[in-house]
């Protein structure tokens, strides 16, 4: 079997799968209907009619049947902002850590991925490179496109033509690169969290997105190749609530967990509404996006000398030249939404256009020859963006004032304006969760907290593809080696880099132990700045330095997840196909298993009066001899107890069991509490969330 789906044909389909397919679809099943076979999943992707899919879903040996949907990208001060400077303590094992990045590929010529000073790949590495020249830094590179459908913008190789994959990979493990900037903005040293680690690239995103089949194949290859961690900043672009085995990332990350590999995944960019996450299984790390103390403000000056401050990353300098102002609704359009149908090039060329719509607004303005664009924001200053022409995003109220100015000038050329180059300023309110970052709760299992934690995801500078304009608009001639991007896509690799750092100190730790270390040492965040509280930021913002030495960890085995899934209603047959072993549920599945899943967080959805017991076990990884006391913080209308409230340890690796009782009556939508195990040296913090229907 080849390294890429295009190299795989129906002859590679195992005979067992052929027999199953003929049983499902009848003796007239044609082998050429099979698109791809996966080595370690024992599953395959097929072209099925709706009727055939229903028949397959009813079979005991089928975990789930779901469409081969498209996934999309969940589009240096950040590490310093986390209190993680260049000179942190590191281990020699860091150079043996291999991070698998499932994304849009990588730019091999970037200094961030140079192998200068690197030795050969670790002996455990089994991967390879396809249509790509690897080095001792980027040690693996493969691409997946099951339908072999390419646009003119795509390159049939792991090379990154979009920039997103390079940005994420360098955030995790990019080299130290001095004097990096975006055309003068965010100037400094670009670096990843683990600069000595190796990178393995699995390109699954193309111009049209990425399929679930490609995602599964990439997980399969990464696991087989020997990566230590997986980072994927991809997922659905719409709010759809999948069951745990209804999406490729859920399935792939389960198999990774089974083989000791933690998956970091972006929470999604569908916030700030509650229940806006789409990927939320407990065995992966779900990462929300926070701001850092850098923001960009872009001023608009009108002909009447009024100045309004908007947001964008505007690299253009109009040198204070005034241009005629044009409101897009004044050319007989029914609204102020800018589109190809509502912008007449003859009317807007050489003018600054005011638009009340977001969709592709700068693409249209750029193609129409506008001198600049003013658009209405949706609130907040956390997603400025880089546009194809001078642009600023104003608040709705400020936009109304600009419209009034245009109207007072009789919609004539007497209404003028200019847009200034952006100012890079300090955001003293940071960190807070970005408005775009998807929020919990977990829609499938309400008593499991999601997201897990938060990491920097706003105004992040990192490596980029010089093949893609910084605005991603064709015709924009600004090609750069480093770009500033915002999104949970940028938060995910920060968490992956932190996880790799922890892994370098504790190579034998399980995925759950690493996840626990990150969560219990996370810096608590302000509910005043984030009304959705833990449903916005989880346990808080990552603190890589503290995570490397957490004191206690909450471990979870595959068997624990199986018990949990049994309680969620999964059958033996579905579990065995998924786990590829003899996993089975007890005679009567424990519906309370969710309260025994050894997570480092507590969530409880309630109605009026409630009483619930959670069971937990912690493992000592701090001092050999220590005594931890439970410290609880909770509002007066709750009653929370921990039994026992003191845990005494006499050796490393020793485990102690305790349980938490939560009772009371809630009359608010969400309330927060916390449990901290404290021995005077380590403070091991777990968030507690109790909530009702929103």
pLDDT digit string, tens, across residues 536-555: 999 999 999 999 999 999 99
Inter-CA distances, 123 with 94, 97, 99, 175, 566, Å: 14, 11, 15, 22, 38
Percent of the chain surpassing pLDDT 70 = 84
pLDDT at 22: 43
Q: Say which residue, 588 or 593, is predicted with more confidence.
A: 593
pLDDT bucket at 587, cuts 50 / 70 / 90: confident
Percent of the chain surpassing pLDDT 90 = 69
pLDDT bucket at 184, cuts 50 / 70 / 90: very high
Mean pLDDT value across the chain: 87
pLDDT at 477 over 80: yes
Which is catalytic among the residues 164, 247, 494, 506? Answer: 164
- Summarised one tens digit per residue, pLDDT across range 29-85 is 443 333 333 333 334 444 455 555 555 555 555 555 556 666 655 446 899 999 999
pLDDT at 531: 93
pLDDT at 182 over 90: yes
pLDDT at 644: 98
pLDDT at 7 over 70: no
Residue 610 buriedness (CB in 10 A; 0-12 / 13-18 / 19+): middle
Q: Say which residue, 667 or 567, is predicted with more confidence.
A: 567
Residue 147: name the closest of 4, 246, 48, 249 by CA.
4
pLDDT at 640 over 90: yes
- To the query of whether residue 489 is one of the catalytic residues in this protein, the response is yes
Q: How far apart are CA 556 and CA 594, in angstroms?
A: 12
Inter-CA distances, 120 with 95, 114, 290, Å: 10, 13, 36
Cα-Cα-Cα-Cα dihedral sign, residues 192, 193, 196, 197:
negative
pLDDT at 607: 86
Q: Say which residue, 156 or 70, is predicted with more confidence.
A: 156
- To the query of whether residue 247 is one of the catalytic residues in this protein, the response is no
pLDDT bucket at 328, cuts 50 / 70 / 90: confident
pLDDT at 207: 87
How does DSSP assign 365-429, residue by residue?
A: HHHTT-SEEEEE--S-SS-----SSSEEEE-HHHHHHHHHHHHHTTTSTT-EEEEPPPEEEE-TT
Which is catalytic among the residues 4, 64, 96, 103? Answer: 103
Output the six-digit token pair for 432: 């807070």
- Summarised one tens digit per residue, pLDDT across range 227-263 is 999 999 999 888 889 888 888 999 999 999 999 999 9
Q: Say which residue, 8 or 576, is predicted with more confidence.
A: 576
**SS3 of the chain: helix, strand, coil, percent, to 5:** 25, 25, 50
pLDDT bucket at 596, cuts 50 / 70 / 90: very high
- Summarised one tens digit per residue, pLDDT across range 382-426 is 666 888 899 999 988 999 999 999 999 888 889 999 999 999 999
Which is catalytic among the residues 435, 489, 504, 674? Answer: 489
């Amino acid at each position: 079997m080849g390294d890429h789906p295009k190299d795989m044909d129906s002859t590679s389909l195992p005979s067992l799968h052929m027999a199953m397919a003929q049983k499902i679809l009848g003796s007239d099943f044609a082998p050429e209907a099979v698109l791809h076979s996966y080595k370690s999943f024992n599953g395959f992707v097929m072209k099925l009619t709706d009727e055939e899919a229903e028949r397959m879903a009813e079979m005991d040996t089928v975990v789930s049947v779901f469409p081969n949907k498209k996934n999309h990208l969940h589009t240096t001060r950040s590490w310093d902002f986390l209190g993680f400077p260049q000179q942190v303590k590191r281990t020699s094992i860091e150079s043996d850590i291999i991070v698998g990045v499932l994304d849009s590929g990588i730019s091999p010529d970037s200094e961030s991925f140079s192998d200068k000073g690197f030795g050969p790949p670790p002996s455990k590495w089994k991967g390879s490179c396809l249509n790509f020249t690897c080095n001792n830094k980027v040690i693996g590179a493969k691409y997946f496109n099951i339908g072999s459908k390419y646009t003119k913008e795509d390159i049939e190789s792991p090379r990154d033509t979009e920039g997103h994959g390079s940005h994420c990979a360098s955030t995790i493990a990019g080299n130290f690169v001095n004097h990096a900037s975006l055309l003068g903005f965010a100037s400094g040293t670009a670096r990843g969290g683990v600069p000595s680690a190796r990178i393995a690239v699995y390109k699954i995103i193309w111009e049209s997105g990425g399929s679930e089949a490609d995602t599964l194949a990439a997980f399969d290859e990464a696991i087989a190749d020997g990566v230590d961690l997986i980072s994927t900043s991809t997922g659905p672009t719409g709010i759809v609530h999948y069951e745990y085995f209804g999406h490729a990332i859920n399935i792939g990350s389960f198999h990774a967990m089974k083989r000791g590999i933690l998956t970091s995944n972006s929470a999604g960019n569908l916030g700030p509404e509650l229940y806006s996450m789409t990927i939320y299984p407990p065995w992966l790390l779900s990462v929300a996006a926070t701001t850092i103390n850098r923001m960009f403000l872009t001023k608009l000056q009108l002909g009447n000398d009024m100045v309004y401050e908007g947001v964008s990353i505007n690299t253009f300098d109009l040198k204070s030249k005034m241009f005629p102002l044009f409101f897009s609704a004044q050319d007989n359009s029914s609204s102020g939404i800018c589109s190809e149908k509502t912008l007449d090039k003859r009317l807007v060329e050489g003018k600054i256009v005011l638009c009340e719509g977001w969709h592709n607004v700068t693409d249209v303005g750029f193609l129409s020859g506008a001198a600049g664009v003013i658009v209405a924001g949706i609130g907040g200053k956390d997603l400025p963006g880089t546009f194809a022409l001078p642009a600023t995003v104003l608040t709705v109220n400020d936009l109304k004032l600009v419209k009034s100015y245009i109207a007072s000038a009789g919609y004539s050329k007497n209404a003028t304006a200019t847009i200034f180059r952006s100012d890079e300023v300090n955001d003293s309110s940071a960190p807070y969760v970005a408005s775009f970052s998807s929020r919990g709760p977990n829609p499938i299992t309400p008593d499991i907290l999601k997201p897990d934690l938060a990491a920097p995801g706003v105004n992040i500078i990192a490596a980029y593809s010089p093949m893609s304009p910084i605005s991603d608009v064709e015709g924009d001639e600004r090609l750069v080696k480093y770009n500033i991007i915002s999104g949970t896509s940028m938060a995910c690799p920060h968490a992956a880099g932190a996880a790799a750092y922890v892994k370098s100190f504790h190579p034998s730790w399980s995925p759950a132990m690493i996840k626990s270390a990150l969560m219990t040492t996370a810096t608590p965040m302000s509910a005043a700045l984030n009304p959705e509280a833990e449903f916005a930021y989880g346990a808080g913002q990552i603190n890589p330095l503290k995570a490397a030495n957490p004191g206690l960890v909450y471990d979870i085995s595959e068997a624990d997840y199986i018990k949990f899934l049994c309680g969620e209603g999964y059958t033996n047959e579905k579990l065995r196909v998924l786990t590829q072993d003899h996993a089975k549920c007890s005679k009567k599945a424990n519906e309370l298993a969710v309260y025994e899943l050894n997570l480092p967080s507590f969530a409880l959805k309630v109605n009026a009066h409630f009483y619930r017991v959670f069971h937990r076990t912690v493992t000592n990884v701090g001092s050999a001899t220590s005594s931890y006391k439970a410290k609880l913080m909770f509002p007066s209308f709750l009653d929370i107890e921990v039994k026992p409230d003191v845990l005494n340890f006499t050796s490393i690796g020793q485990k102690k069991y305790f349980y938490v009782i939560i009772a009371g009556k809630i009359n608010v939508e969400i309330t927060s509490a916390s449990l901290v195990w404290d021995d005077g040296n380590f403070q091991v913090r777990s968030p507690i969330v109790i909530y009702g229907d929103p």
